[in-house]
Structure 1
Amino acid sequence: MITYELCLLLRVMPKPELVSALKRTANTIFLKGGIIRKLESLGTKDIPNKTSSHGSVHNKASYFILEFNAPPRYLHDISEEYGRDVDIIRRRIYKKQEDEVPACTLDEEIQPPPYRKGVQDLITQARQLDKPKFKYNSGLDYYPFQK
């Protein structure tokens, strides 16, 4: 299964109600065959813009990020069910990008700059941008295009 991130904005409410809203969101994922990997609370903050949801205007929200695995065919159903929940102001589901492990380039970085491949590439690019210069040893004693 593919790993997804669910960004939730929940309306500001007391802690017991907040816990029950999070349980509802988690149960929705479980019922669709998903597995929750991580739940992270980012706290209660002001929303950058006023947001209207389910007939009320919100200026603050509780931010949560859920990392979960689920079959792709059920994502639309999960998002649709969250759209009907009155406690959820906003929800977005993103496919999580896998972090690339950078290759070790210590051998290259120890070399002096003129011998590094990146520096050599920059030098070749700069040489391509040079303007053609007049060659004085072309058979003429003077530059013919002077004014």
Structure 2
Amino acid sequence: MPTYELALVFRQLPRTELISVIKRTAEAILDKGGIIRKLENLGTRALPHKLSEHGVVHRTGTHFTIAFDSAPTQISDLKEEFGRDIDIVRRYVFKVEEPLDHKCTLHEELLPPAYRKDVQELIDIAKRKQKPKYNYNSGLDYYPFQK
């Protein structure tokens, strides 16, 4: 199962109600067959702009992130369920990509940029994408009627 990260913004709630909303959100993930890996509270902050959700304007919100594993087919059901919850102002689900293994040595880093392998690859790509010069089939390598 792939790993996802759920970014949530709850409306400003007292602590006891906030706990019940978090439990309700976590239970929804578990009911769909997900596994919760990490739950992180990012605190209550002012929103960058006022948000209108479920007919109410919100200016502050409590931010949470939940890292979980779930089947890809269940993500749309979770989004729909969180969209109906009146305590959730915003919800975003991101698929967590595995970081690429990039091995680098000091010798490669000390080379001038023009001699680095990745820069050489970029130069080759640019050469392949260059358009041929304009030619009137005149045998000349320049355009004789240049203004």
TM-score (norm 1): 0.75
The equivalent residue for 2:32 is: 32
Matched, 1:4 2:4: yes
Please tell me the residue identity of whatever aligns with 1:78.
L
Matched, 1:41 2:41: yes
TM-score (norm 2): 0.75
Distance 1:110 1:21, change over 3 A: same
Consecutive unaligned residues in structure 2, runs of 5 or more? 128-147
* Distance in 2 (alpha carbons) for counterparts of 1:16 and 1:99: 38
The equivalent residue for 1:117 is: 116
Distance 1:56 1:114, change over 3 A: closer
* Distance in 2 (alpha carbons) for counterparts of 1:116 and 1:80: 52
Aligned to 1:50, the other structure's residue is in SS state strand
The equivalent residue for 2:133 is: none
1:110 is displaced (CA, Å) by: 4.8
User: Is the Cα–Cα contact under 8 Å of residues 42 and 63 in structure 1 kept in the other structure?
Assistant: yes
The equivalent residue for 2:59 is: 59
Greater CA radius of gyration, 1 or 2? Answer: 1
Q: Summarize the alignment of residues 75-90 of structure 1 with structure 2, pairs less than 5 Å apart.
A: 75-90=75-90
1:117 is displaced (CA, Å) by: 2.5
The equivalent residue for 1:19 is: 19
* Distance in 1 (alpha carbons) for counterparts of 2:119 and 2:70: 47
* Distance in 2 (alpha carbons) for counterparts of 1:39 and 1:119: 38
* Distance in 2 (alpha carbons) for counterparts of 1:114 and 1:57: 52
Alignment coverage as a number of residue pairs: 124
1:116 is displaced (CA, Å) by: 4.1
What CA deviation, in whole Å up to 9, does each residue of 1:2-61 have, x standing for no partner?
111101000111111111100000000000000011111111111112111112110000
What CA deviation, in whole Å up to 9, does each residue of 1:77-112 have, x standing for no partner?
11111111111001111111212232122232355x
Consecutive unaligned residues in structure 1, runs of 5 or more? 129-147
Distance 1:21 1:104, change over 3 A: same
Matched, 1:50 2:37: no
